[in-house]
Each structure stands twice: as C-alpha cells, then as structure tokens.
Structure 1
Amino acid sequence: MTLGIDVQGLTVRFGDVTAVDDLSVRLAGGKIYGLLGRNGSGKTTLMSAIAAFLQADRGRVLVDGEQPYENPAVTEQICLVRDSGDLADQDSARAALKRAAKFRPNWDAEFAERLIELFRVPTRRGVARMSRGQRSALGVTVGLASRAPVTMLDESYFGMDAPSRYAFYDVLLEDYIEHPRTIVISTHLIEEVTRLFEEVVIIDQGRLVAHDETEALRMRGAAVTGAVSAVEAFTDGMTVLAERRLGGTKSVTVFGAMGAEQRARASEFDVELEPVALQDLFVHLTKEAPR
C-alpha cells in the first residue's frame, strides 16, 4: 500500500518566525524521496505537518486525498521518526517496541527483532541510559518495522556509527523493494544516501527550491575532469561550484546543463564530463536561491 502526499500553499508560523512559507509540492506514492535543506530551513516542520503533529496556519496537506490533522484513519498510516526517536525516556527498548506494535497496524514483529539484532540495540536498557547511537538505532527500527505507507525519517539515523548507517541503508532499500511505500528521508549526509533517492526535494527558508528526479537534478551541472590547462580553458566563464587538483589533473564542478554543443567541446578539449555531485548542487542552490 502506497500513499501520495500533496502539500498545497503550506504556511506554518511559530510566533513571528515563518518556518514554512507558502510551500507547495506533490510526492507521488511508492518512491523514496530525499528532503534536503540547511539547518532551520523548515524540513522538520514540513514533515511534522504531514504527520499531523501540528496544524498549518495557511494552506493544507493531503495524504491519499485526505487531511491528516485530527484524522486517525490517516495518521495511523503515517510514521514520522525524528532524531530523538520520539521514545519515552522511561521505557526500555522492549517496552518502546511493544507500544509501537500496539499503535501501528502494519507492524512486523519479526522484522523488528531482526533489526534490533542487526543494530545491537540493548532491549532491556532504559532509553534514557542509551547512547545516542543506540537511540537512533531504536528509532529507525520503529520506523522500518512499522511498515507505514508513509514513512518519514528526520535525521533519525544520524547518531549511528558508519557501519550501522550503511547497514541501515542496505536494509531500508531491501525492505522497500519487498514492501513498497512512500519514504521521505531528511538528511545532511547527502553523499552517503544519494543512491537511495528516486527524487529529491530541496527547501530553503521554508520555500521550495527544487524538486526533481535525482539524476535529472544532477544533470543541472557537471564535473569536468582532465589536464589542468584543458579543464581551465573548457570551464572559462562558467559558474564554478568546486574544484580539486591532484598533480597535473584537475576536476571542476560547474553549474549549468551540458548540451550536445558542450559535450562536443569537451571531446575536443579531451576532458571528461560526469553529473554534478548532489551535495555540491545543494550547496549552490541553497546559497543562490532567490528569497
């Protein structure tokens, strides 16, 4: 079961701070989305509005065509796991899993046990006494084992060490293929998780900056690699996002799509063109995006 998300002119304010500003975006069901934004860009607020944790000041959110706010039939199909894991500190991991099973109609207890073992979560220890990495592992266990048609992970795995994070990426992709659903992942570890994303949503200061398929977004720029003099001549006059040099070889990341003419020139200059790294593009768009 997959559910689509339709955000229409959403505005959310906290006092005199506008966290989400007239944002509209439509996410088709059954895909893995990357939600990118700088600190304070409105990512958590957007996800919280979708999960009906808060009410919009203006606009609306629809999940499968219905508003989730104060709508239990919809909210039980949505699982948002934030960095804290949203787990009561007095609970042990085992108690937290039991509570999740009670409120999640698609809960898979066998899968939860497999994840607990994979991530080495101490099930009898109180959540308050766990390390940040253990709490993160417990949070993503709840998120994945809930098998909610809309699953949102808001930096929830950030505290895990590198081996655990990579194990998480692999198991998430495997389970998504077996049990398709709509998954939204908010992250700052962009290069680590780019391979998971089918589409990417970038927001800045509460507004939509970009929404496209991952590869289409990466084609908005290029990484140009070759001899130093050839690369510098080819990229002269282009918008440079980043550059690296090793001996006589140089790699320059530029912003701007490469059409047939530019590719023919690249061949003449004997330089290689590859899609831009998503992280470099993100940095550029959130620095230069119109306010």
Structure 2
Amino acid sequence: MSAALIEAGNLTVRYGSKAAVDGVSFQVPKGRVVGLLGHNGAGKTSLMKALVGLSSFDGNLSVLGLNPLRDREKLLEQLSYIPDVAILPRWARVDQLITLMSGMHPRFSADRARTLLKRTSVGPRDKIKTLSKGMVVQLHLALMAAIDAKVMILDEPTLGLDILSRKSFYEMLIDEWCDGERSVLISTHQVEEIETLLSDVIMLNEGKLVLSISLEDMDTRFVGLSHDPAQAEQIASAHPLLRYRQAGQSAALFDGAPPEHITALGQRFRPSLVDLFVALTRAPERSRQQA
C-alpha cells in the first residue's frame, strides 16, 4: 500500500453532463488534518461521497489502498464518515446505540465510546430526541471516534452549532482521535476558526482543484504586503492575486515573493487562510455576474 492514505489522480465525478468534481489530483499522507474548502457547489460533498464509495467516478482513486466502489465493505471497516446531514434514530437511548454499534462494526469499542462520552454532557440513558443539536453532534463524533479507523471524513460537521459547541467538537477530535498516524479530512465553512488545527488544505472552485498544500509550504509560498494607498498602482503592476484591506491598511497577496522593488514599497506579513481562500476561489454568484 502507498504511504498516502488517500490518492486521487484526475478524479472526476459527474451528474449527467455536469462535472461536480473535475479532474482533481491530490494525496493525503498519514497523520494529517486536512481542510477541504470551497463555496457551496464547489464539489466538496461530491468528492467526499466518491471517497466513501457513494458516488461513481472516472479517473484514479485509492483510499487506504482500496477502490471505494469495488472494495467499499472492506474500506468502511477502516474509515469513519459523518455526512453533512448526520441522523441518529430519535427513539433510541445512547446506551442502545452503543450496543447497536458493537454488533454492527467489528472495529467499534463500546468502552472507548463510553470514555469519550465522559467528555460531553451526554448521558448513557439519554434519548436522542431529548438532545440538543450540539449534543447529537458530540455523540456522533464519540461513536465514530470509537471505531479503530485510519481515516475520518467529516462533511460540515459543526454546521449550525454555536461557537462553544464547535470548539468542544474540534477539541475532542484533535485530543482523542488524531494520533500522528490517522488522518482526517474536514469540509467546513468556518475557515478562520479551524486554521490553527489544520496541517494541510485542499481548495476547490467550481469542481476544479485550485490548491493542495501543507500550511507550512503555504507560509513560504504566499506573501502578503501591506502598503501605503499611494503605492497602489505600482503594487498592481506586479499582478497580485488579491488586493484588499488588512488591519486598516491597503494590502496585496502574491503567489511567490514579489520583485524586490515591489517588496520595498511595503511591509511583508503572513496572509491568513481566509485571505488565500478569497484570492483563489470565487463565489458562484460572482462567477455568473462576470460571465
């Protein structure tokens, strides 16, 4: 098996004539926390469905050395997946779900699930229908993290939760599941909130891959330059990816270091992941307006 837990080569997912994912190639090595970023309709969910064998695809795709479509049953023994609409049976109690999971999944540990639940406010005798949305999400993560899997795929796992619930979710994910060997792929809109958790980022724009990079390499590749508004024309002549306001000052973002005479016009800074996301992706409504 390859050292990469996930490998995609020219991967395409189609719905009729539309390519929701259009010829993307990337790798996810072991021990990584990868953010999958893109606007609504960018292809994130379609990509995730292909990774877990829920969508057919063209091109090459290997997850844990397996073909997700052909080897789906074997793959799901080693992969955990929480979709964007995670539903648990409302009639069940928490302890009943743990018993159910014990009988369904060969790598599920009931003891591990009970230990993880101690980090939450969810009790073993609680019924699902009495839990808040945040508590249901915490429960779902505890159940998935109790599976001895190598890859976890999360599609907008904290959508609709308040900031404290989101913080608790990610703390449990990082503390209790990420161990340097496993990898997690997280699709989210809360780019700024999870930047400090990520080791890598994959960006999609209208189905196409616009960036696949580690945050370490991102810091050396992309350069922010704050400058006086009077220098705007000279800065623009160097063709930055984005011109915007940063901490009340005019700023520009470059792919690679700008020429020395341009760098001398301002002050370098580290661009944030949000800055880079804005520079490299375009909201669908903007695309339609400018077409």
User: What TM-score range do you get, normalising by the shorter chain?
Assistant: 0.7 to 0.9
2:245 to 243, 246, 250: 243
Task: Output the amino acid matched with 2:256.
Answer: A
Identity value in percent: 27
Cα shift at 1:278: 0.5
Which whole-Å deviations, capped at 9, do the CAs of 1:184-242 have from their partners, x for residues lacking one?
1111111111112111111122221110111322444334457x568758845453442
Output the aligned Cα RMSD.
3.2
Kept in 1: contact 2:84–2:155 (CA 8 A): yes
Could you tell me which residue of structure 2 aligns to residue 61 of structure 1? 61
Give the secondary structure class of the aligned counterpart of 2:282.
helix
Task: Output the amino acid matched with 1:243.
Answer: R
For 1:106 and 1:84, locate their aligned partners in 2 and report how far apart those are by CA, in whole Å.
Answer: 24
Seen in structure 2, the aligned counterparts of structure 1 residues 87 and 243 have a Cα distance that, compared at 3 Å, is same
Could you tell me which residue of structure 2 aligns to residue 258 of structure 1? 257
Kept in 2: contact 1:136–1:159 (CA 8 A): no
Cα shift at 1:277: 0.8
Give the secondary structure class of the aligned counterpart of 2:158.
coil
Q: Does 1:95 align with 2:85?
A: no
Report matched runs for 1:218-233 at 5 Å.
218-225=219-226, 228=228
Could you tell me which residue of structure 2 aligns to residue 7 of structure 1? 8
Cα shift at 1:106: 3.5
- Normalising by the residue count of structure 2, what TM-score does the alignment of the two structures yield? 0.81
Kept in 2: contact 1:6–1:27 (CA 8 A): yes
Could you tell me which residue of structure 2 aligns to residue 167 of structure 1? 168
Report matched runs for 1:1-291 at 5 Å.
4-56=5-57, 58-71=58-71, 72-176=73-177, 178=179, 180-225=181-226, 228=228, 235=235, 237=237, 239=240, 240-244=242-246, 246=248, 250=249, 252-258=251-257, 262=260, 266=263, 272-287=267-282
Seen in structure 2, the aligned counterparts of structure 1 residues 207 and 89 have a Cα distance that, compared at 3 Å, is farther
- Normalising by the residue count of structure 1, what TM-score does the alignment of the two structures yield? 0.81
Comparing 44-53 with 99-108, greater Cα deviation is found at 99-108
For 1:219 and 1:287, locate their aligned partners in 2 and report how far apart those are by CA, in whole Å.
Answer: 24
Give the secondary structure class of the aligned counterpart of 2:22.
strand
Task: Output the amino acid matched with 2:186.
Answer: I
Kept in 1: contact 2:226–2:268 (CA 8 A): yes
Seen in structure 2, the aligned counterparts of structure 1 residues 123 and 55 have a Cα distance that, compared at 3 Å, is farther
Task: Output the amino acid matched with 1:287.
Answer: R
For 1:231 and 1:141, locate their aligned partners in 2 and report how far apart those are by CA, in whole Å.
Answer: 53
Unaligned ranges ≥5, structure 2: none
Which whole-Å deviations, capped at 9, do the CAs of 1:75-127 have from their partners, x for residues lacking one?
21111111222433443333333333334443343442243232323544443
Kept in 2: contact 1:5–1:28 (CA 8 A): yes
Seen in structure 2, the aligned counterparts of structure 1 residues 9 and 230 have a Cα distance that, compared at 3 Å, is same
Seen in structure 2, the aligned counterparts of structure 1 residues 223 and 109 have a Cα distance that, compared at 3 Å, is farther
Kept in 2: contact 1:218–1:281 (CA 8 A): no
Task: Output the amino acid matched with 2:137.
Answer: S
Cα shift at 1:155: 1.0
Task: Output the amino acid matched with 2:253.
Answer: V
Task: Output the amino acid matched with 1:141.
Answer: A
Unaligned ranges ≥5, structure 1: none
Seen in structure 2, the aligned counterparts of structure 1 residues 36 and 108 have a Cα distance that, compared at 3 Å, is same
